[in-house]
Amino acid sequence: MTEAEPSEYGDIFSLIDKMYKILADARSGFMDQDLIKVSRSSLENLLDQLKQALPTQLKSAVEIMRSADARMGQAVSEAEKTTRAAEAHAEKIVSEAQKRADYIASNDNIVKIASQRADAMMGEAKAKSARIMNEAQKRAAELKASSEQWCMENLQSFMEVLKKMESTAYGGIENIKIKQRQGFDKRSEGK
């Protein structure tokens, strides 16, 4: 590796570099210059180590996904709680307004005035209830949007890590092909 890799990938890239070294040091076949002889146990040992190192990277991705799911669940739960509290508060206001309206209406002397006041109180209660519901829905939408943004950022970051690993693998393959062609060209010149 020519440039420093992040420490979390260092083991993986170190193992890949060791495999490149085994391939570079390997002797080519007598009849076919493209075939090489390598120590099976050395290569198998490095591949086993690589398999053990990879799950830690995958575990990191799974943890990001679990965290995103947990935040989304928490945001939905909080939004539902806020909505339920707003509905309960609105029901209480409407119930109190209805009780006041019923009480006022029961008095024969002030039925007309009471009816008007009750209507006004009901209107105010409904308007206040609507405002509380709108605020609760707005807060729920904000929580959901924030959670989705957090998830999107973490998934994009993970995608960049995967792209870098893919690019490194392709670069390694191309490097091996170049070394093989150079080795073949040198052997062809020597004939």
51 pLDDT higher than 50:
yes
The pLDDT value given to residue 2: 40
Alpha-carbon dihedral 29, 24, 180, 182, rounded to 10 degrees: -110
pLDDT of residue 105: 62
Produce one character per residue of 136-153: b if its CB has 16 or more CB atoms within 10 Å, e if not. beeebeebeeebeeebee
- Lowest mean pLDDT of 41-45, 119-123, 131-135, 184-188, name the range: 184-188
* 1 pLDDT higher than 50: no
Give me the pLDDT at residue 52, please: 76
**If phi over 0 gives left and psi between -120 and 50 gives alpha, with beta otherwise, what is residue 141?**
alpha
- In this predicted structure, what is the pLDDT of residue 145? 87
- Residue 54 structure tokens: 């990879």
Q: What is the pLDDT of residues 73-91, one digit of tens each?
A: 888 888 888 888 888 888 8
pLDDT computed for residue 58 by the predictor: 65
52-77 pLDDT, tens digit each: 777 666 667 767 778 877 888 888 88
Choice among 55-59, 96-100, 151-155 with the minimum mean pLDDT: 55-59
d(CA 183, CA 175): 12
Residue 44 has pLDDT above 50, yes or no: yes
The residue extents of the domains of the chain are: 7-190
| 165, 61 Cβ separation under 8 angstroms | no
* Confidence bin at 10 (pLDDT 50/70/90): low
Q: Other C-beta atoms within 10 Å of 97: how many?
A: 22
Q: Which residues fall within 8 angstroms of residue 5, CB to CB, at 6 or more apart?
A: 13
Percent of the chain with pLDDT over 90: 2
pLDDT average, residue stretch 79-105 = 81
Residues 6+ apart with CB under 8 A from 156: none
Mean pLDDT of the chain: 79
**Whole-prediction pTM value?**
0.34
